[in-house]
Structure 1
Amino acid sequence: MLPQSGNLLIPDIKEEEKSYQVIRWFLPEDNQKRITKHFNSYIETALDGRDEFEGLLKLMEIFGIQCSYLLSRKDIMDSLKNENFDLVFVEAFDFCSFLIAEKLVKPFVAILPTRFGSLEFGLPSPLSYVPVFHSLLTDHMDFWGRVKNFLMFFSFSRSQWDLLSTFDNTIKEHFPEGSRPVLSDLLLKAELWFVNSDFAFDFARPLLPNTVYVGGLMEKPIKPVPQNGPPALFTTPSLFSSGVYLEPLR
């Protein structure tokens, strides 16, 4: 496992004991502060219901800088090569993991932490009934809905191109000319894609044999509500929560 030391949201969180080797690495303090600042800003914007694509682009640019620093750490890269892994597991939100797998010349399995649509990785997407991400359409579209979906497909493709291009400088710096990978092509090289969703939550769409739903795989059993909790917990007929955002500890 190759985690960055520290946690962006809860710096002092207690970690469980690992039964596998963990190689830790540290970012320079200035870079860590920049990442924390932009990450918190992006999360707050998203939770406020505002879709700030420029903020996401800025965050990905910082991830690109972070990736360049990691790839330049010869001690870490040599340590990973010496382990001679058979397979690499990568997390698809940070494209750096794809570049590390490419640098190690190893096959990899990718994990998509969100539902379908947030990242294009080669799945067939019939625009007549598969709504484009953020289109607010469903799989039942009339003629004008399909026209809107068709036009938004080009907008989504341009947005993904902008996201992938934030790592262009990193690729130019760490891969020799003539053998530089293209990030969009690397996404297609995954042996398997594990998608953190479930068929019950997604619109019907064609899937490739290397795409597997794993929604809820890491969920822990539900614990009973403490009896000494706030009275509202026991008097309100129905409660629903889609998650909690924690401010960084001061």
Structure 2
Amino acid sequence: MSLSISGTMSLHPMCGVFVLLSICLISFTTPCYGGNILVFPVDGSHWINMKVLVEELHARGHNITVIRGSTSWYIAEKSPLYTSITVELGEYNETSFQLVLQEQMRVCRCDASVLTFLKINNSFMSMINNVNFLWCEVLEKNFDDDNLLKILIDSRYDLVLTDPAVSAGVVLAKYLKLPLVLNVRWIPGGEGHFAVAPSPLSYIPVPRSGLTDKMDFLKRIKNLFFHSIVVLHQKFYLGPHYDALCDKYIEGGCDVFSLLQEADIWLFRSDFVFDFPRPTMPNIVYIGGFQCKPAQPLPADLEQFVQSAGEHGVIIMTLGTLVNALPAEVTEEIASVFAKMPQKVIWKHKGERPSTLGNNTLIVDWMPQKDLLGHPQTKVFVAHGGTNGVQEAIYHGVPVLGIPLFFDQYDNLLRLQERGAGKIIPFADVNSQTFEQALKEVLHQESYRQNIERLSRLHRDQPIAPMDRAVFWVEYVMRHKGAPHLRTEAYKMPWYSYYCVDVMVFLLSAAAVLLLSTLAIFRFLCCSRKRKTKDKQH
């Protein structure tokens, strides 16, 4: 190399200098490894998270293949980011999902009893069961499709990246014998930590229990009750779908819970600024807020509306991607409260236009949520409590007034409320009076703003950005063909070994044998002494 350079310089000095500089630049450039990644996402709001990660992986030179259902709501078949594989999925669309949610909201408004809660919970879990069952059917058909299997095998993927809220991707990774990375907060049976990390029920609240990490005796009973529901649901409703699939197609058989525990890396969509402290594991990587980005300038018309609010500022309200509108009577009451406020309001609402709507309220079909949250005029975020919205509120430091509707939303908002950065109005209690009182409280009590800004400072004070952390560990698994050294072997142990029940039984048995033997010896000695005494007396 040196001879070639020197020879070139003798003929063309400037060309030689250019070559030398190029070599120096190349030597100081971090080598780029373009991996081949198979992505098995979950539709709906979960795809928003996965797409952000897919965009970053694509930008860093990785080839992405996405498996999507034929009836997908949000996952496009054609994209510059990835190549898609579309599989036939049974009849399950966004409309049917919306109908279930609307019915749940209607029932909740009519009756807020414990029995109603259990009915709603059962309805929601049945919906999750149906989605998982449909994907199990898809996998079974695809495992019997030699052409598709040949494509998957010949593509020589480096790993599978999946969201285990639907566990079909976990089974596929096992079948293809590929390293597995989870983009996760939820698994079908509940919160992901409960599958892989020690989770003492004395201070770790079970999802949907409505509890914090401070529990008295009665609350611990409640927590145990909710955990039992989750375990039974996993064991008798969800588990059999996947167990049958594993027994048929995975050599040696398996169960989906152990497959989750075999995952190389858990990219966990949370952190301990947001969540309660708890035990964790080496292969859990916390990427809470990885989708958050600095605010961009608003469209001109929206910026004009925001600036017209003056010193009073702006209130924004959205219920996320899955809920288009609240029941009409609730919408009317919320609109009437907004109309009284001196603030301007931007409200994402696709339902019928409320008759009580004020001139200060702008109804939109879509809003640039992160850009509005990052705008200095935004004073309060009225939200349903989805993970994405809550983490963006923390990132931008905007207090939250929460109206939780289903699944994890109450738990998310509870974490903000416990830290004084938000307030919850149960959906059954929403009316013009309660909504106005809560909205004014969050607006005018300075502690809400101070607490959410403190959380924002804590969240941003990290040595590595959450997205960089996520990409590093994906590439780490590709470089090392997995990360088994970070994975506990506890999942291979039966429950009685994990909790040392067998050890305790052995030790108690040994102690009992020793005690009984000692008693028997003393009894024998006492009896022998008595017999000798009697013999002497005779």
TM-score by length of 1: 0.79
SS in 2 for 1:144: helix
Larger proportion of strand: 2
Residues 40 and 23 of structure 1: CA distance in aligned 2, closer, same or farther (over 3 Å):
same
SS in 2 for 1:193: strand
Match of 1:129 among 203, 207, 230: 203
Match of 2:239 among 145, 164, 172: 164
SS in 2 for 1:218: coil
Deviation (angstroms), 1:122: 1.5
Residues 77 and 187 of structure 1: CA distance in aligned 2, closer, same or farther (over 3 Å):
same
Aligned to 2:88: 27
Residues 217 and 232 of structure 1: CA distance in aligned 2, closer, same or farther (over 3 Å):
closer
Contact 2:131 2:166 in 1 (8 A): no
Unpaired runs of 5+ in structure 2? Answer: 1-64, 109-119, 325-538
Aligned to 2:320: 243
| Structure 1 range deviating more: 220-229 or 230-239 | 230-239
Contact 1:90 1:97 in 2 (8 A): yes
| Structure 1 range deviating more: 235-244 or 147-156 | 235-244
Aligned to 1:180: 253
Contact 1:194 1:213 in 2 (8 A): yes
SS in 1 for 2:253: coil
Q: Output one character per residue of 1:164-194: Cα deviation in whole Å (capped at 9) or x when no partner.
A: 3222333344345xx1121111011011100
Contact 1:133 1:156 in 2 (8 A): no
Contact 1:122 1:188 in 2 (8 A): yes
Amino acid at match of 1:84: R
Aligned to 1:140: 214
Amino acid at match of 1:65: E
Deviation (angstroms), 1:114: 4.4
Contact 1:38 1:59 in 2 (8 A): no
| Cα distance in structure 1, aligned partners of 2:280 and 2:290 | 19
SS in 2 for 1:239: strand
Residues 104 and 34 of structure 1: CA distance in aligned 2, closer, same or farther (over 3 Å):
same
Q: 1:53-202 alignment to 2 at 5 Å?
A: 53-114=125-186, 117-119=190-192, 120-161=194-235, 162-175=237-250, 179-202=252-275
Residues 207 and 151 of structure 1: CA distance in aligned 2, closer, same or farther (over 3 Å):
same
Larger proportion of helix: 2
Higher-Rg member (1/2): 2
| Structure 1 range deviating more: 193-202 or 115-124 | 115-124
Contact 1:121 1:187 in 2 (8 A): yes
Residues 112 and 46 of structure 1: CA distance in aligned 2, closer, same or farther (over 3 Å):
farther
| Cα distance in structure 2, aligned partners of 1:37 and 1:239 | 26
Q: Higher relative contact order at CA 8 Å, sep ≥6: structure 1 or structure 2?
A: 1
Contact 1:129 1:141 in 2 (8 A): yes
Residues 7 and 173 of structure 1: CA distance in aligned 2, closer, same or farther (over 3 Å):
same
Aligned to 2:68: 4
Q: Output one character per residue of 1:70-116: Cα deviation in whole Å (capped at 9) or x when no partner.
A: 22222222222223333322221221111111111222111115499
Percent of aligned pairs with the same residue? 23
Amino acid at match of 2:211: L
| Cα distance in structure 1, aligned partners of 2:183 and 2:104 | 22
Aligned to 1:208: 281
Contact 2:205 2:223 in 1 (8 A): yes
Residues 63 and 138 of structure 1: CA distance in aligned 2, closer, same or farther (over 3 Å):
same
Deviation (angstroms), 1:196: 1.4
Amino acid at match of 1:2: V
Residues 6 and 221 of structure 1: CA distance in aligned 2, closer, same or farther (over 3 Å):
farther
Amino acid at match of 2:222: K
Residues 17 and 125 of structure 1: CA distance in aligned 2, closer, same or farther (over 3 Å):
same
| Cα distance in structure 1, aligned partners of 2:155 and 2:182 | 20
| Cα distance in structure 2, aligned partners of 1:171 and 1:37 | 31
Residues 181 and 47 of structure 1: CA distance in aligned 2, closer, same or farther (over 3 Å):
farther
Deviation (angstroms), 1:58: 1.9
| Cα distance in structure 1, aligned partners of 2:67 and 2:105 | 26
| Cα distance in structure 2, aligned partners of 1:37 and 1:173 | 33
Determine whether 1:223 maps to 2:284. no
Amino acid at match of 1:154: S
Deviation (angstroms), 1:155: 1.5
Would you say how many aligned residue pairs link Structure 1 and Structure 2? Answer: 239
| Cα distance in structure 1, aligned partners of 2:77 and 2:93 | 21
SS in 2 for 1:79: helix
Contact 1:114 1:196 in 2 (8 A): no
Contact 1:35 1:59 in 2 (8 A): no
| Structure 1 range deviating more: 91-100 or 234-243 | 234-243
| Cα distance in structure 2, aligned partners of 1:46 and 1:226 | 36
TM-score by length of 2: 0.40
Amino acid at match of 2:206: V
Match of 1:17 among 80, 85, 95: 80
| Cα distance in structure 2, aligned partners of 1:78 and 1:209 | 35
| Structure 1 range deviating more: 220-229 or 104-113 | 220-229
Contact 2:101 2:323 in 1 (8 A): no
Contact 1:90 1:109 in 2 (8 A): yes
